[in-house]
Every structure is written in C-alpha cells, then in structure tokens.
Structure 1
Amino acid sequence: MNRDIGDLCVLVTGAGRGLGAAIARAFAREGARVAINYRRSGAQAEALASELGPRAAAFQADVTDAAQVAGMVAEIGARLGPPDVVVHNALADFSFDGDARPHLDRLDWAGIEAQTRTAVGGALALIQAVRPHFETQGFGRVVTIGTNLVQNPVVPYHDYTAAKGALLALTRTAAKELGPLGVTVNMVSGGLLRTTDASAATPEAVFDIVAGQTPLGRVTTPAEMADAVLFFASPWARAVTGQNLIVDGGLVFG
C-alpha cells in the first residue's frame, strides 16, 4: 500500500522542542496530521501545535509508561485519527557535554537503565499501542532516532550510546516481525546537531572540530535530519525496512 505523507497521521515523541519539533514541522509542511508528544515541555508543545495549525495537537505522555502511551494513542485517534506513522524521538534527560559525562570508572547501571527505558522501552510501548491499527489497515511506518556514535564512539556517552545500540537492534527485529503486516521499521541516526537543547552544552570548539572533519564542511541541522525521517514515511521508501540511515554530512560512513 502506498500513501502520501499528506494523508497520514504522524505521532512524534519528544516533539515539544529540539529535533522532535523540527520533525513535527517537516511533516506538517507536507500536510500530515501531527500529534506532538511531550513529557514535561507542555508550553513548548502547545505553542508548536498552535504554530502548525488545526491539523496538529499536543499530547502529554511519558513513553516509558505503557499505560500512558496506550491512553495517548487512543486520544490521538479520537482527535486526529489513529497514528499511521510513529517517530520515536523521545530522549531521557541528557546533556551532550563530553567533559561532564561519566567515564567507565564512574558509570553506574542506573544511567544506562534510564536511557534504555526511554529508547527501547518507549519504542516497545509505542509499537504495541499502534500495532492493532497497523494490522487492521495493512500499513504502518515506524522511524526510530539513533546516533552515529554506535559506529564512531568518540565521546564517552556510554549510557546514551548503549541505549541507542539496543534500539537499533529492536528496530531490525521489529522490521522482521512487522513486515508481513505491511509495516516498515527504520532508524535515522544523526551526529551532533546545531543546535538543540541537548547540544546547547556542547562547547563551540567541538562544533568547529566536527565541521572540519565532515566532508560537507558543516554541522547537520535538525531540519536536515527531519527531512531524512520524511523519506522513511514516504512512498519512496515503501520497499525499505530494517535500515539505519546515518545523516551527519558524511562524518561517519557505514
């Protein structure tokens, strides 16, 4: 089944600000109905929904709580229609400042667990909540957000990178299981983005270093990464599933 983006209802988690907001704007630009999920960024999410117009609305839920996710999906269905596309962008509290992140001698399991609960647990709760609709209509799109640090772990973001590595594994196993239902599951992995709330703590010198090492000579923006997410929801990606597309200006190959 092929469906244009403008015919779809899209749920973007963690969409009140940063990359999630850029993804929500990209889908709204293409005419989709957009459900803006947030956990604590209520004011930002409501402002974004107002900016995007009547085909967008904000919905509060903690993606680590399966009951909240199920309730949110039901509410979205009542207001905008059931989600046809889920973009799992929600991020546990994290600051991209390598100097402030714990190295292995100070890292504890709680840090890894917190990141994994949001990245993997959230993806699982979302897939379980939307699967009945996907199965009924024989169509669905899931896009997870990863990181190029899995391929190029140059910064000691052990907890964050481990969680995203596990999310990549779930992305691929879910693609295998959901494929017969007409559902594709893919990941878009970025590098350092200029600039989100999470990367605001990154020293300017690091942005300069990354730009200097990148073939395109600049740091990727949230809007550029959002456009790659659109691809996986579009008819042009109908035969693509279980893939991880790295969007970082060519900094990492593979």
Structure 2
Amino acid sequence: MQLSQQLVLVTGGARGLGQHLVRAFAREGAQVLVNYLHSADAASALAADLGPAALAVRADVTDPAQVQAMFAQARAHFGREVTSVVNNALAAFSFNGNARAQADAIGWQAFNAQFEGSVRGALNTVQAALPGMRAQRFGRVINIGTNLFQNPVVPYHDYTAAKAALLSLTRTLAGDLGPDGITVNMLSGGLLRSTDASAATPEAVFDYIAANTPLRSVTTPAEFADAALFFASPWSRAVTGQNLVVDGGLVRD
C-alpha cells in the first residue's frame, strides 16, 4: 500500500520527534492521527496546520480503553481503519547524564514507568489496530527504539531496559503477525538534535557524538522521521522483525 493511501497513527505525535514523524507522513500524502496526552494546544495546532488529512486525538496509550476509543474516533472521522502505527510515545524522560539515576539508587518505579510507556503502550496500540489490519491483510507497526543497546555511552538504566524489551516485543510480534500481512520493525536513533527529551543534554555531548560519526553530525528529528517512511512503504514489504539504527553511522553493528 502506498503511503498516500494510508492512515497512520503516531503516538506522542504533538511535539518533539513525534511532530516530525507526523509531518513526514503527511508530506507523502498519508492521513495522520496525531495522538497526544498532555500537549493539547500543540496537537491542535499541528492538525490545523496540516488540514483535513490530520486529526488530533487525546489518549493515554497505557490505558487499553482509551486506545480503543481513539481508534473508534479515527474510524468515525476518516471512515477507514488505521494501516500503520508508529509507537513513539515516551514516558516523561530527560536525557541529562549528569542528573540520571545511578545504579545504586534507581528504584523499580522508574523502570516500571518506562516499561508502561514503551511496552504496554505499544502492546495496546497493536492490539487495537489488529482487527482492521487483519481485515485488510495489511499493516505496518514501527516501534521507536534507541542505539543505547549497542552503545550505552550514558547508562540510562530504566529507559534502555524498556526499549530493549520493546525490541524483543517487536521481533515476537513480527513472527506472530507475519501471516496476516503485518510487518513489525524498530527504528532506533541516538540523541537527536534536538527534541524536548534531549534539550537538557550538554552541547559537549552533542559535539562528541558528531565527531565520532562518519557524517560528522548529530541526526536531526526530521532526518530520523524520514527513515520511518521506509518501514511503512511498499519498499519494505519483505522486511520485518528488524532494528534499523539511524544515527549517522555512530553504531555499526
């Protein structure tokens, strides 16, 4: 299915990386569902800017009932089923290595918050999308991950553990849903220059990352968002269960 024929859900789509993902899909002619939790003004402004092809809907992705209601609202508004889901929503987090919780002090509550946002949220959206995707025998799930698996340059224990679990879920879902024509992949970046989550990152860290990439630059949210188009496009129809790292070549394994 061409991107211009799709209805794409982007969770956490009102700001930061999410808004770049929304704009990338809209630019290619897709209809886009802009999910948000707290950023009502930003979501409304983004949807208004994109016009009738976009709809802003509030839902807490950790709540299955709210997710189901969001899909129903999208179905009623667009008269069709969601074809692609981008699981981008992130539990409140700041990439500030100087302020991160240390190994001897971090509590399980921090891990649980990240698992709820990354893993439970993705499970809820996939389960809500499944009936429509199965009926069409087409679906694309794109989970947003991190290159901290391969390169834990800053040990964000809770965030990285949750994203590692999301990668595992990506691969098991790929195996389970492939016969239904649904692909499930992960798109992983490093620090992006810049999003709300990376706003607290010192410039020296960005400079260090840039100096160690073949491109000598830090990936921007817009560059990262463009890579997401591949996994939703016809060109990736034989690709599933994969983790594509988009970080300027910093991680190469």
* TM-score normalised per structure 2: 0.99
Aligned equivalents of 1:118 and 1:245: distance in 2? 21
Cα distance, 1:167 vs. partner?
Answer: 0.1
What letter matches 1:106 in structure 2? A
| 2:173 corresponds to | 174
Query: Which deviations, in whole Å up to 9, do the C-alpha atoms of 1:225-251 show, x marking residues without a partner?
Result: 101100000000000000000000000
Aligned equivalents of 1:227 and 1:146: distance in 2? 15
Query: Which deviations, in whole Å up to 9, do the C-alpha atoms of 1:183-234 show, x marking residues without a partner?
Result: 0000000001001011000011111111111110000000111011000000
Please tell me the root mean square deviation across aligned C-alpha atoms, in Å.
0.6
Query: Are 2:2 and 1:4 equivalent residues in the alignment?
Result: yes
| 1:242 corresponds to | 241
What letter matches 1:181 in structure 2? D
Secondary structure of the structure 2 residue equivalent to 1:103: coil
Query: Which deviations, in whole Å up to 9, do the C-alpha atoms of 1:146-196 show, x marking residues without a partner?
Result: 000011111021000000000000000000000000000000000010010
Q: For 1:24-35, list aligned pairs within 5 A.
A: 24-35=22-33
Query: Are 2:223 and 1:224 equivalent residues in the alignment?
Result: yes
Q: For 1:97-176, list aligned pairs within 5 A.
A: 97-176=96-175
Gaps of 5+ in 2: none
What letter matches 1:200 in structure 2? A
Aligned equivalents of 1:85 and 1:206: distance in 2? 34
From 40, 62, 65, give the equivalent of 2:60: 62
Aligned equivalents of 2:8 and 2:134: distance in 1? 16
Aligned equivalents of 2:6 and 2:155: distance in 1? 39
What letter matches 1:247 in structure 2? V
Displacement over 6 Å in runs of 4+: none
Secondary structure of the structure 2 residue equivalent to 1:21: helix
Secondary structure of the structure 1 residue equivalent to 2:32: strand
Gaps of 5+ in 1: none
From 46, 50, 53, give the equivalent of 2:51: 53
Identity fraction in percent: 62
Cα distance, 1:10 vs. partner?
Answer: 0.2
Query: Which deviations, in whole Å up to 9, do the C-alpha atoms of 1:24-81 show, x marking residues without a partner?
Result: 0000000000000001011001110011111101000000001100110110111123
* TM-score normalised per structure 1: 0.98
Contact 1:225 1:247 in 2 (8 A): yes
What letter matches 1:231 in structure 2? F
What letter matches 1:92 in structure 2? A
Cα distance, 1:21 vs. partner?
Answer: 0.4
Aligned equivalents of 1:221 and 1:79: distance in 2? 32
| 1:204 corresponds to | 203
Cα distance, 1:103 vs. partner?
Answer: 1.1
Aligned residues: 252
